[in-house]
Structure 1
Amino acid sequence: MEEAEELSDLAQIRLPPRYSIKDVESSFYLFPSQDEESSSIRRVLDCAGGRIIKTEGTKLIMRGNQMIDLSHYSVVDGHCHPFLPERERGELDQLLNLSTIPIPRLHSENIILYRKVMMELARVLGCPLRLDEILRRRREEYARPAEYIGRLFEEAKIDTLLLDTGYPRPPIPLEEFRRLVRCRVRCIYRLEPLISRLFQSAPPFDELLERYEEALESAVRDKGHVGFKSVIAYGFGLRIQRVEEGSAREAYERLRDEGVLTLPLRRKSPRAVRDEKTLRNYLVCRGIEKSIDLDVPFQIHTGIGDSPYIDLREANPLHLFDVIRDEELGKAKIVLVHAGYPYVEEAGFLANNYPNVYIDLSEMIPFIGPGMREKILQLLYMSPTTKILYGSDGYNIPEIFWISAIWGKQALSEALQELVESGAIDEDYAYKAGRLILWENAVRLYKLPPVGL
């Protein structure tokens, strides 16, 4: 910073007391404004990660690094999945996109998320930024999985994971996963595996309902799950309607009598597909009612998911309008998983207008990469900061959990910094909002122990 000291006669540097040129936005005033002097200050700011915003006569306004820095905050990852190293299948480039269709390496290695992961891994592993060398070093380090995962999770300050254990199948032993990650783990109970098991045994309708509700109650009261989740958007979309018990019974009995309960949708007749949609709508609504009884949140998949199984046209969170405005179902604490991406502003509107609608950021973080800042801002246009919850949708590999926290905190910092610069909020509130989104909202909503800061 010697160059900055040499320029002291040329520039007034306005800094809050606890900041330096390395970590703040600053305005530099040149007296007089000369090309040579501007060039010198530009070099100083370039060293600090800065850039020119604009010039106003003799005033050269430049920006250094962001003031808001949430990197030291812990996170509660509100939506993710267990994994084991021995279950890892395929190359890293194939595990960093959401498609179940193999993506040619020409394209998969040129997704920005993949490039970011490789760049950050090179930093952590202390190796050159060459893909072959990074992958070789990763294999070496991952041979000691608990140590490698611990290193990544510690850097990202991952405090608690809320696991959707409905994926992968077959399920991963939770005690084994807990030993591997060495952080706090709680579980979310997914409805669909339970429904599939009941369809396989095909009991009479009354018995199916009894076993369904007993399993949901036991998941919370006996097994400590902190919420429910549905992925009805896969296959049936989010246009969930209230169904009378008699209609659900008739639909179930037709499917059962025809022996098609467990057939894939593509092999069912159009009438059987309609019957299954009727039945699943009924069961999801019963699940929402049970979440109200047990006072736990109900997560529901919205927006992006695994291609080609998700029809984004039917996954817009606005399709949940009938559920959200229902006099009884509207009492549930509904969490819109994945922020409804790409329908992010719609999700923000729902969180603004309906007291019990919350937004989970997972999968949007990290999979839209450099677009995260913009989409977080779109949520903040309307959604209360008390209703937005950090998540990663981490699965299969530890790097998704890690890069989500690292890059997600950076994107959130940048979004909040923009609100500070615009005069919408002050710096103190920006840090408060960061804490709310990264962990405090999850602790409150899911009734978790305090986060170890």
Structure 2
Amino acid sequence: MELLVDHHCHGVVRRDLDRAAFEARLTEADRPAPGTTLFDSALGDALRAHCFPLLDLAPTALPDAYLERRLALGSAAVTRLMLHAAGLAAVLVDTGYAPEPLTSPAELGEAAGARAHEVVRLETLAEDLAGGVSAGGFAAAVRSALAAAAARPTTVAFKSVAAYRVGLALGDERPSDLAVATAAGRWLAGGGGRIADEILHRFLAFAALDIALPLQFHTGLGDRDVDLSTCDPLLLAPWLRSAEPTGVPILLLHCYPFHRHAAYLAQVFPSVHMDLGLATHNVGARAGAVLAEALELCPYGKFLYSSDGFALPELHYLGAALFRAAAGPELAARTTDNAYRVYASMD
């Protein structure tokens, strides 16, 4: 089995989950729809086909039997089982979102038997500065924090979630120090917290380029906080033109339902790469069709693998199992080679 580099994922929960808590982590919704279950979906079909047998259950078993078996084994054992079955050489873990305690990159890597690296979320790094920085000192403090994060031996990339906060239509000019200070002043006057200012997101993205580590962008589907119409990666094209002279690798994450648009960008911008991320497990048996659509335009050397697994180790495993089945061994091997080339600091 070709070992994959999961170039974007998250930690998993450290506790046992009942059915409601388990299903809540299968969906991008923030609440269940009455009378429905995620086991009755393409993702649910994939869980039955791939995860039930790992726990020695037939795919025809009831969901409650799966959850009972999961509880009997315990969360730590299930995590090790699922992550080992994923067959991973390395995990690149976004540590910027943890609504409850999740496994650290090192813990996730240990459970998977894989090398572990960290992806530092720009917005979280900047938001952590609130309370200890002035508006005028914000830009310098961010640059210093970025340099310190990049100096950690585990850090291999930065990530922007501008898509969630302001959309991807970032301006193509570096904001001036005065513009950044003014925007930071507004943010700090509001008590800090969640950054949702286009000037600040654009500043963070340009500041990350100056560090020269690969930069990931969330694009496409996500939870209901996103305005999906503003998450089309094509909106990022003007910013990509400004970023191009730096040669810094830009990674478009998830991309669905705009995966053809992302594939176009990967073809025409030398430093742009893409994956399908959480789309792979969400579409289940249709993963092959979505992958084929992405590869209509995306050069094979620009395509990477990620699961975007979050909270449930099943999602890390499903991403890998469905991707291997859709991609075949040759493309799977290419994505691993591509990841080591893009994230040179993993070597």
Match of 2:207 in 1: 286
| Distance in 1 between residues matched to 2:101 and 2:22, nearest whole Å | 22
Partner of 2:342: 445
- Which of 72, 78, 82 is residue 7 of structure 2 equivalent to? 78
User: In angstroms, what is the RMSD of aligned CA positions?
Assistant: 2.4
Say whether 1:135 aligns with 2:67: yes
Does 1:322 pair with 2:219? Answer: no
In structure 2, the residue matched to 1:405 is: 320
Q: For the Cα contact (< 8 Å) 1:285–1:329, is it kept in 2?
A: no
Question: Residue in 2 aligned with 1:384?
Answer: 299
Residue 229 of structure 2 is matched in structure 1 by 313
How far residue 337 of structure 1 moved from its aligned partner, in angstroms, is 0.8
**Partner Cα separation in structure 2 for residue 192 and residue 315 of structure 1:** 17
CA distance in 2, matches of 1:230, 1:202: 21
What is the alpha-carbon distance in structure 2 between the residues aligned to residue 87 and residue 245 of structure 1?
48
- Higher gyration radius (CA): 1
Contact 2:7–2:304 (CA under 8 A) maintained in structure 1: yes
Alignment-derived partner of residue 185 in structure 1:
116
Match of 2:129 in 1: 198
**Does the Cα contact within 8 Å between 2:16 and 2:74 map onto a contact in 1?**
no
User: Which residue does the alignment assign to 1:148?
Assistant: 78
Q: What does 1:4-403 correspond to in 2, within 5 Å?
A: 72-86=1-15, 90-104=20-34, 106-128=36-58, 129-142=61-74, 145=76, 147-169=77-99, 172=102, 174=104, 175-205=106-136, 207-241=137-171, 242=173, 243-256=175-188, 259-262=189-192, 276-290=197-211, 292=212, 296-307=213-224, 309-326=225-242, 331-338=247-254, 340-403=255-318
- Where structure 2 has 5 or more consecutive residues not aligned to the other structure, the ranges are none
Shifted more, 368-377 versus 316-325: the winner is: 368-377
- C-alpha contact (below 8 Å) 1:324/1:330 kept by paired residues: no
- SS of the residue corresponding to residue 90 of structure 2 reads strand
Residue 397 of structure 1 and its aligned partner are, at CA, apart by: 1.2
2:242 counterpart SS class: coil
Looking at structure 2, the residues matched to 137 and 315 of structure 1 have their Cα atoms a distance apart, in angstroms, of 39
Give yes or no for contact 1:94–1:103 (8 Å, CA) kept in 2: no
Distance in 2 (CA, whole Å) between partners of 1:403 and 1:260 is 41
Task: Please give the TM-score of this superposition, normalised by the length of structure 1.
Answer: 0.70
2:308–2:316 CA contact under 8 A, matched in 1:
yes
Residue 329 of structure 1, CA deviation: 5.9
Over 3 Å counting, the alpha-carbon distance change for 1:185 and 1:346 in structure 2 is same
Q: Is the 8 A contact 2:8 2:91 kept in 1?
A: yes
In 2: Cα distance, 1:358 partner to 1:192 partner: 22
**CA distance in 1 between partners of 2:110 and 2:332 (Å):** 29
- Is the contact made by 1:118 and 1:134 (CA closer than 8 Å) also made in structure 2? no
1:435 match: 333
Q: Does the 8 Å contact 2:122/2:159 carry over to 1?
A: yes
Aligned residues: 341
Show the counterpart of 1:423. Answer: none
User: How has the CA–CA distance of structure 1 residues 250 and 328 changed in structure 2, closer, same or farther, with 3 Å as cutoff?
Assistant: farther
> How far does residue 209 in structure 1 lie from its aligned partner after superposition?
1.8
Amino acid at match of 1:300: F
Q: 2-side partners of 1:364 and 1:327: how far apart?
A: 27
**What amino acid maps onto 2:226 in structure 1?**
I
How far, CA to CA, are the matches of 1:449 and 1:198 in structure 2?
28
Percent of pairs identical after alignment? 26
SS of the residue aligned with 1:382? Answer: coil
Q: Distance in 2 between matches of 1:202 and 1:139?
A: 46
Query: 1:221 deviation in Å?
Result: 1.6
When normalised by structure 2's length, the TM-score is 0.90
Q: Which amino acid aligns with 1:319?
A: L
Which residue identity does 2:116 align to in structure 1?
V
The answer as to whether partners of 1:323 and 1:329 remain within 8 angstroms in 2 is: no
Offset at residue 162 of structure 1 (A): 0.4
Q: 1:134 to 1:263 in 2, by over 3 A?
A: closer
Q: Kindly state the Cα deviation for residue 376 of structure 1 after the two structures are TM-superposed.
A: 1.1
Contact 2:11 2:108 (C-alpha < 8 Å) held by counterparts: yes
Contact kept, 8 Å, 1:443 with 1:449, in 2: the verdict is yes
